């Protein structure tokens, strides 16, 4: 859970959204400075989450105000106030860090989300949780094969697109487009997202809808790669 929570022992915890788990470069340098300032006074712990976010844990009640001021000063406050697609997105490092990468992932995903978010806004889906994962190669270090929307790199600027995974990671997805560029990806996603907004059932998840609407067949037996 992103944002502030209070434990049964009365101590406070705040989970910060860290896009793709990356701090200390480019626009995130100020965030790293803020966490350094917090670390100098914080008496509790820092915890990393499986979804690449950061928990500042075990904050004494009397220290919460000081932590909140530092979060605001360094632009870390309200990190959870993003589209739920972005908050549920994840990428592997890919270029230039990973020698196995075939395409961009960590550096490209924010740009792709910038193009998808206006589409979600038009269909009033900004607050609808959808999982999206991107990997620079088929090895899938960001766990793309269980996401509702996933892309795996094939070559620079080229990806396989998958749909139909389970929101909670309980079902594999299935490939719908192979070795395509951004225009083809956005064109299909615009169609599926628009259809989802118009015809989804109450409480229906995006991955479940993609199967019910016939965009992909349900994967009923586990395998690492999809046909």
> pLDDT tens-digit profile of 63-88?
999 999 999 999 899 888 899 999 99
Q: What is the dihedral of CA 144, 149, 147, 178, to 10 degrees?
A: -40
For residue 227, name the pLDDT band (cuts at 50, 70, 90). Answer: very low
Which among 47, 73, 99 is the end of a domain?
A: 73
- Percent of the chain scoring above 90 in pLDDT: 86
Peptide bond into 96 cis (omega under 30): yes
- 125 and 173 assigned to the same domain: yes
Question: Torsion-angle region of residue 124: left (phi > 0), alpha (psi -120 to 50) or beta?
Answer: left
CA distance 205 to 196: 9
Q: At what angle do helices 182-199 and 109-122 cross, to 10 degrees?
A: 30
CA distance 126 to 54: 23
- 164 and 202 assigned to the same domain: yes
For the entire predicted model, the pTM comes to 0.89
Whether 136 contacts 105, CB under 8 Å: yes
Q: What is the pLDDT of residue 226?
A: 44
- 91 and 141 assigned to the same domain: yes
- 50 and 89 assigned to the same domain: no
Domain count, the chain: 2
| CATH classification of the domain holding 58 | 3.90.480.10
| CATH classification of the domain holding 179 | 3.30.413.10
């Amino acid at each position: 859970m992103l944002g502030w929570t209070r434990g049964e022992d009365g101590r406070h915890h705040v989970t910060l959204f860290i896009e793709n788990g990356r701090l200390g470069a480019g626009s995130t340098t100020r965030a790293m400075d803020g966490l350094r300032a917090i670390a100098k006074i914080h008496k509790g712990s820092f915890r990393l989450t499986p979804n690449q976010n950061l928990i500042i844990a075990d904050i004494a009640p009397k220290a919460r105000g000081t932590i909140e001021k530092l979060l605001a000063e360094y632009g870390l406050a309200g990190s959870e106030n993003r589209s739920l697609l972005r908050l549920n997105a994840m990428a592997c490092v890919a270029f230039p860090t990973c020698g196995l990468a075939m395409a961009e992932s960590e550096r490209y995903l924010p740009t792709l989300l910038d193009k998808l978010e206006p589409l979600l806004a038009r269909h009033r889906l900004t607050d609808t949780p959808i999982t999206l994962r991107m990997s620079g190669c088929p090895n899938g270090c960001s766990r793309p094969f269980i996401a509702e929307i996933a892309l795996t790199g094939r070559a620079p600027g080229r990806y396989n697109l998958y749909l139909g995974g389970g929101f909670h990671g309980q079902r594999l997805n299935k490939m719908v487009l192979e070795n395509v560029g951004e225009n083809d990806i956005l064109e299909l996603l615009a169609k599926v997202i628009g259809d989802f907004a118009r015809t989804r059932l109450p409480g229906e998840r995006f991955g479940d809808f993609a199967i019910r609407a016939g965009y992909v067949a349900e994967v009923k037996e586990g395998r690492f790669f999809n046909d």
